Amino acid sequence: MKEWYQMREDEVLEALGSDANGLSSEKAEALLKAHGENVLRETKKKSVWRVFAEQFADLLVIILIIAAIISMISGNVESTIVIFAVITMNAILGTVQHEKAEKSLASLKTLSAPTAKVLRGGVKGEIPSAQVVKGDILLLEAGDMVTADGRILESYSLQVNESSLTGESTNVEKKTVVLEGEKAPDERMVEFQRILERLIMQEMQNYIYNESMYLVQVETSLTHRVKILISGMAVLLLATLGILMRRSFRLTGGIIRPVTEMLDKVKKVGRGNFDVLPVSAEIVEIEELDQGINKMAHRISGLLENVRQEKEMQHLTELQLIQAQVNPHFLYNTLDTIVWLIEGGMTDDAVEMISSLSIFFRTSLSKGNDIIPLSEEKRHTLSYLEIQQFRYRDILEFELSIPKELDGIQVPKLSIQPLAENALYHGIKNRRGKGKITITGREEADAIVLTVSDNGQGMTPERLHEVQEAIRTGERAGFGLAAVAERIALYYGPGYGMTISSKEGEGTTVELRLGKNIQPKS
C-alpha cells in the first residue's frame, strides 16, 4: 500500500471517503462520534471533594488536628473550636484557590484553541479544531494554524512555520508533489516525532499552568504566612493551657463551683425562695457551711410562716372584735326614736322600727359566722337604712338594687353596711337638702362588683388622697373603709379590694371587687 505522500490527490480523497466538495455534514458527524475529537488526551481531573480532602494531608494541619483533640479532651472547648475553624478555613481557601487555577487554565486553553476552515458539502465553514475529522478538506490562509496532519491537495506560495517541531526559525515551503520514488520514513523517526509533539504540547500546558499558579501564589502567600503564625500561636497556647488548666481545674472546680452555688442559694433566700437544694462539695468545710445555710433557710421559712399566721389571726381577731361591737350611740338613738314614736301614738312605725332593729342585730351576730350569703348582707344593710330613714326622714332616701341571682354568693359579713353608714354620716348629713344612697351589684367573669354611691358633699382632692392612703396602708380608726378593704384583701388576695372616687359637691362612690369563691379563715 502506498503512503499518503505517494498518492495522487484523487487517490487520497478516495481512500478517505471524500471528494472535491469535502465530506457531508452527516458523514463528518458520524466520523466524529466514531473516532472522537481532534485533541490530545488529558488525565482525569480531581473532584472538588478530593481536592478538599488533600488539604488535610499537610503535616502542619495534622499537628493542629492532634492539638485540637488534646485540647478537647482537656476541656478547653473554645481553643478546640478556634483550631478546627482555622483548619477548615485553610482547607476551604486551598480548595478555592485550586479551582481558580483550574478555571484559569481552562480559560487559557479555550483562548488558545484554534479554529479550522473546512469545505463540507461544497460549502466553506469555520469549526473548532477539535471537530476536524479524517477526510475533511482544510482551507488555509495567511496566519492560519495547521490543526491536523494532512495531504496537500492545492497550494500557492504555501510556507509553514515548523519551529515548534524542528527548531528551525525559517518557514518551510510546501508544494503539491507526489513522491513516488521516496521511501517511507523510518518508523522510529515517526515515533520520535510523535513523542516530541506530545512533549512540546505538554510543556506548553505546563507553562500555562505554572504562569496561572504564580498569579495564585502571590494571592495566597500572605494567607499562608498568617496561617503559620496562627497555628504556631495556637500550639503554644494549647500546650501552656493544657498544663495550667489540668492543675487549676481540680483546685477551682472544688471550691469556686460550690461557693458560687451557695451564693446563688443565699440570694434566693433573700428573695424569699426557701425551697433550696443541698450543694455537693468535696471539701468538708464547704459541705458543713452549706448544711448551715440550708438549716438557716428552713428556720427563716418557718419563722416567717409563723409570723404570717399570727398576723393573720391577729387581724381576724381584731375584725371579729370590731364586728361584735355595736355603736352605742346608734343603739341609744334608735331606742329613743322608738320611744318617741310610741309616745306620739305611731305604734305601727315603732313596731316596724323594732322589727328592723331585730333584723339588724340578728345579722350582726350571725351565729358567730364571719362569712354569710349576700342575701343576708343585703337584709342587714336594708334594716340599717330603714332604721336611719325613720330618724332622718327629711334628708335620707335610699335604693338597693342587687340582682337576686347573686344572693347565694358568700361574702364577708359587714361588707356593705359600713359603706352605707359612711355615706350617711360623711356625705348625706353634711349636705343641705335631701340626699340619696344607691347600692348596686353586678357579676363579671371572675368577680362580683358591689357599688355604694351617694350624692352628698363629696371630698376635696386632699381628703380623697388621705382616705385612699388609709385604705392602701391599712390605717383605720374604728370600723370604716380601711377595715372593709383589709378584710377583702385578707379573704380574696391580690386583684380584689376597694376603690373610691369622689368629687367635692357631687358625692362619693365606693366600689368593692369580690371573688366568686371564698375560703373561710379558721
Alpha-carbon span 423 to 454, nearest angstrom: 6
Spell out the domain ranges in the chain. 4-224, 258-313, 328-514
Per-residue pLDDT of the chain (522 residues; tens, 9 = 90+): 677 777 777 777 777 888 878 888 888 888 888 888 777 666 677 788 888 888 787 777 788 788 778 878 877 777 778 778 888 887 888 788 777 777 766 665 665 557 888 888 888 888 888 788 888 888 888 877 787 888 888 887 788 877 666 666 677 777 777 776 555 455 545 555 666 666 666 665 565 556 556 555 645 665 666 567 677 667 766 776 666 666 566 656 666 666 677 677 777 767 666 666 676 666 666 667 777 777 777 777 777 777 766 665 555 555 544 544 545 556 656 666 777 667 667 777 777 777 777 777 666 655 556 788 888 888 888 888 888 888 787 888 899 999 999 888 888 888 888 888 888 888 888 777 788 999 999 998 889 999 999 998 889 999 888 888 887 776 654 446 777 888 788 788 888 888 999 998 889 999 999 988 775 554
Calculate the CA dihedral of residues 500, 503, 504, 507 and round it to 10 degrees. -70
SS (H, E, C) 105-161: HHHHHHHHCCEEEEEECCEEEEEEHHHCCCCCEECCCCCCCCCCCCCCCCCCCEEEC
Best CA proximity match to 134, nearest among 38, 40, 25: 38
- Copy the grid coordinates of residue 170: 525559517
What is the CATH code of the structural domain delimited by 4-224?
2.70.150.10
CATH architecture of 328-514: 2-Layer Sandwich (3.30)
Burial of 311 from C-beta contacts in 10 A (0-12 / 13-18 / 19+): exposed
Alpha-carbon span 154 to 176, nearest angstrom: 6
What 3-state class would DSSP assign to 259?
helix
pTM recorded for the entire structure: 0.40
Residues 467/473, Cβ–Cβ less than 8 Å:
no
CB-based contacts of 99, cutoff 8 Å, min separation 6 = 48, 51
Alpha-carbon span 446 to 492, nearest angstrom: 12
- Tell me if domain 4-224 and domain 328-514 are identical in fold: no
Q: For the chain, what is the radius of gyration of the CA atoms?
A: 56
Residues in the chain: 522
